[in-house]
Structure 1
């Protein structure tokens, strides 16, 4: 594993519908490199060794006839069974950490002051051990439910299953170094800018 030491690394997390991806895009607009762990994790499913492990664990139905990931099939299984969700994470996360290592090597050469890793399960996955500070984005369950229904068209029952599979908000807040409260658009921009200036000083 590549040992990076120069660039200050910020982990950005939050439960489904909290608005963490929106916050990540604001950091990116400010010129900060952002590693979107959820997106990168989806790419890991196509690594030959990982694909073999997924098929072994979930069967050939885990991929379509064209070789694409059958995400609805996987989601239906893992968000109803905590043990199988953990098994899936154990398959994906080692490959994800390697992708982050490679990404960090590239960005260290570009002399950025700090970088952000956006990850839905920053603490659960152990990815928090790879960053210097953790920021969580928090919103009420009612707000999160509305956002996900509007964004993904999921049923209330399916959203609740995903919420139930994640750690409680309070636990994530307690583990984080900073918390962004996603209630008001103007307020959240102010909080992000404050953290941006803080991280620029720390780097």
Structure 2
């Protein structure tokens, strides 16, 4: 039975960078956020978003992600509604993906809101990536061309690092890439024993 290793971390922590490090070692990696973005192009998801958030969120039969982001990132209740639409579709997609990788001893499932959606309960182990908040804000501003206030709002919509660490089996401090790589290698050695 293939083991599922959850990989999570707050926005800007560098979990995608860490996921790539695992992938480079030949470990199958599922990036939930990337798959969720692709699934948002499915007709049934578009229709559910239209019904839940209104016609304004759909432009040329596609979800207007900027409009939808404005609605959900400032409102925890609206974010919950969106997750109820997207999360089951991602779960089903992940199960299908897992069937393809059944021969791997373990796979990495990278998800930003792994704990918030109780996704950690389907994992055999969980890795949380952490970094100082100022560095995280800096990274997101550079990556998304956003402002400090909107990054802070997104951070506040996620669980705190402390809460995630308490429920994690491994913690990677992602400040210096070389040190991060060493931590990944150490975790791979431990995972190869389970």
Q: Normalized against structure 2, the TM-score is what?
A: 0.96
| Distance in 1 (alpha carbons) for counterparts of 2:99 and 2:41 | 22
> Aligned to 2:76, which of 60, 72, 82?
82
Length, aligned pairs only:
194
What per-residue deviation string (whole Å, max 9, x for no partner) do you get for residues 81-103 of structure 1?
Answer: 11010111111111110001000
The corresponding residue for 1:196 is 188
What's the CA shift string for 1:18-44, capped at 9, x where partnerless? 000000001000000100000111122
Secondary structure of 2:63's match?
Answer: coil
Displacement of 1:183 in angstroms is: 1.9
Q: CA RMSD in A?
A: 1.0
State yes or no: 1:133 paired with 2:125.
yes
Q: Where does residue 178 of structure 1 map in the other structure?
A: 170
Q: TM-score, normalised by structure 1?
A: 0.92
Q: 3-state DSSP class of the match of 1:201?
A: coil
Q: Is 1:101 matched up with 2:99?
A: no
**Take 1:182 and 1:146, find their aligned partners in 2: how far apart are those partners?**
14
Greater displacement, 146-155 / 13-22: 146-155
Q: Write out the 4+ residue segments of structure 1 that deviate beyond 6 Å after TM superposition.
A: none
CA distance in 2: counterparts of 1:8 and 1:199, whole angstroms:
10
Give the whole-Å Cα distance in 1 for the aligned partners of 2:71 and 2:154. 11
Question: What is residue 33 of structure 2 aligned with on the other side?
Answer: 38
Secondary structure, counterpart of 1:125 in structure 2 = coil
Which structure 2 segments of 5+ residues have no match? none
User: What's the counterpart of residue 124 of structure 1?
Assistant: 116
Distance 1:27 1:64 in 2: 37
Match of 1:142 among 126, 134, 142: 134
Among 22, 33, 55, which residue is 1:60 paired with? 55
Cα deviation 1:106-136 (Å, max 9, x = unaligned):
111xx21210000000011122122111000
Deviations 1:144-188 (A, max 9, x none): 011111111101111111111111111011111110011222211
CA distance in 2, matches of 1:49, 1:64: 15
